[in-house]
Chain A
Amino acid sequence: MDRDLDKDVKVRWHDMGGKNTDPIQLTEHDFELWEKRVDALMVLSSNKGYFTVDGLRRVLEDMGEEAYKEMTYYERWISSINQNLIEAGAYNLQELGEKMAEVAKRGETYGECNIEIIE
């Protein structure tokens, strides 16, 4: 193929087929409750039509390779879910900022900061 690869071709970081050579790390981990909640927020948001799994993936991809290396799977997911919900107009950045500040004031640990909502 006569082609200037740098000029015409840029393979995105998430497009991984054929690139890597490291051996498999056969570790697994039990999902933490907060991770399951993130997963649930994705299922609910998409079922309710706020955005699709395609939007989730698009934001994950646009977060770039550094995010993939430095953040865990569900950390990236909540970041993407939030971005998609903002873009869908479910809430705005001010509301999010104020809520996050309120949550942080409740205590030190996840357990202390998560209050059960009485319905």
Chain B
Amino acid sequence: MKVKIKNLFPPGHVRTPSYLRGKVGEIERDLGYFSNPEQLAYDLPAAKVKLYRVRFAMSEIWGGEVECATDTVDAEIYEHWIQKD
């Protein structure tokens, strides 16, 4: 399933790398629920959030000049960073 990562840039402790924001990837697997690190980092009560592994094509992330068209980057993305259309 194709997903787009939200293109937001808040300050603070977030675990969605900036190089993936706004990019489209494919869910590789569902990892289950984990406590939100954005809350744990500030010692706040942390909600359980769904976590996915998302696979991105190198060309999708970096545009034209990539070393090899079939190379990919997989990253773990929390559900609240996935854009709901």
Query: A residues near B, CB below 8 A?
Result: 1, 8-12, 15, 17-18, 51-52, 54-55, 57-58, 61, 87-88
Contacts and interface: CB of A to CB of B under 8 A. Distances in A.
Contacts of B18: 9, 11-12, 15, 17
Contacts, number: 40
A17 B18 CA distance: 8
B41 A18 contact: no
Interface of B: 9, 11-13, 17-20, 22, 37, 40-43, 61-62
B42 A58 contact: yes
B64 to A, nearest CB: 14
A87 B11 contact: no
A58 B13 contact: yes
B9 A55 contact: no
Contacts of A88: 43
Contacts of B20: 17
B43 A1 contact: no
B16 to A, nearest CB: 9
20 contacts: A1-B22, A8-B9, A9-B9, A9-B18, A10-B11, A11-B9, A12-B18, A15-B18, A18-B62, A52-B41, A54-B13, A54-B37, A54-B40, A54-B41, A55-B40, A57-B41, A58-B12, A61-B13, A87-B43, A88-B43
Contacts of B61: 18
